[in-house]
Chains A and B, each alone.
Chain A
Amino acid sequence: AQKVTQAQTEISVVEKEDVTLDCVYETRDTTYYLFWYKQPPSGELVFLIRRNSFDEQNEISGRYSWNFQKSTSSFNFTITASQVVDSAVYFCALSFIQGAQKLVFGQGTRLTINP
């Protein structure tokens, strides 16, 4: 079965702290893609990153970084020096060849950055 688990329902930190959002996935496919989406308080879903199963290089974009580890089936997201504007719900999602017509989403993690 294809499944994405975000075990952290809610996280609250003080501004400027680093925070890591966990994502664990299950799939039997050898070829798949992983995604992160951000949902700010305004409600829209914003695409952040896509990573394919053959590329385990970590990626950094400004204060955001992603750690993909196939050995542990994890695709964790770290925000460095968090800011209040990072407050949002973050979703991890999985796409795979057999189920190419949908993304399988995790339950989401609500991140609150307190000033």
Chain B
Amino acid sequence: EAQVTQNPRYLITVTGKKLTVTCSQNMNHEYMSWYRQDPGLGLRQIYYSMNVEVTDKGDVPEGYKVSRKEKRNFPLILESPSPNQTSLYFCASRRQGTAYNSPLHFGNGTRLTVT
């Protein structure tokens, strides 16, 4: 089954404790991206990657890191989480090519709480 898999689904942590949210896709998509969803703000892009070893900042990259060492994986790293990073996070992927018209395939989301 074609899918984007995120782990964990739920995570509660404390301020300053490094964490990684994993994302893996099995559709051989070149493009992957991370979004965060907050009430009243919709979804905002954190980082994206157009292919292996190619990453770039989205609209809200502060406090986050990513890496793309393999095509299928795109982990989101919070080196020192803070309470304002409490949010619902989504990983997404799609084919590259005519990127602007390809629908994103989303993972099931990771709800992160930082206390």
Could you list which residues of chain A lie within 8 angstroms of chain B, going by C-beta atoms? 4, 6, 9, 31-33, 35, 37, 42-45, 47, 50, 52, 91, 93, 95-97, 99-103, 105-108
Could you list which residues of chain B lie within 8 angstroms of chain A, going by C-beta atoms? 31, 33, 35, 40-45, 48, 50, 56, 58-59, 88, 90, 99-101, 103-109, 111
13 A-B contact pairs sorted by A residue (CB < 8 Å)? A9-B40, A43-B109, A44-B107, A45-B90, A47-B103, A50-B101, A91-B43, A101-B33, A102-B59, A103-B43, A105-B43, A107-B40, A107-B41
Contacts of B107 in A (CB 8 A): 44
Contact A96 B109 (CB under 8 A): no
Q: Chain B: which residue is nearest A35 at the CB level?
A: B103
Interface residue SS majority, chain A:
loop
Interface residue SS majority, chain B:
strand
Question: What distance in Å separates the Cβ of B113 from its nearest Cβ neighbour in chain A?
Answer: 15
Give bound CA distance, A91 to B101, whole Å. Answer: 16
Contacts of B103 in A (CB 8 A): 35, 47, 50
Give bound CA distance, A93 to B104, whole Å. Answer: 11
State whether A95 and B108 are in contact (beta carbons under 8 Å apart), knowing that A102-B48, A102-B58, A108-B42 are contacts in the complex: no
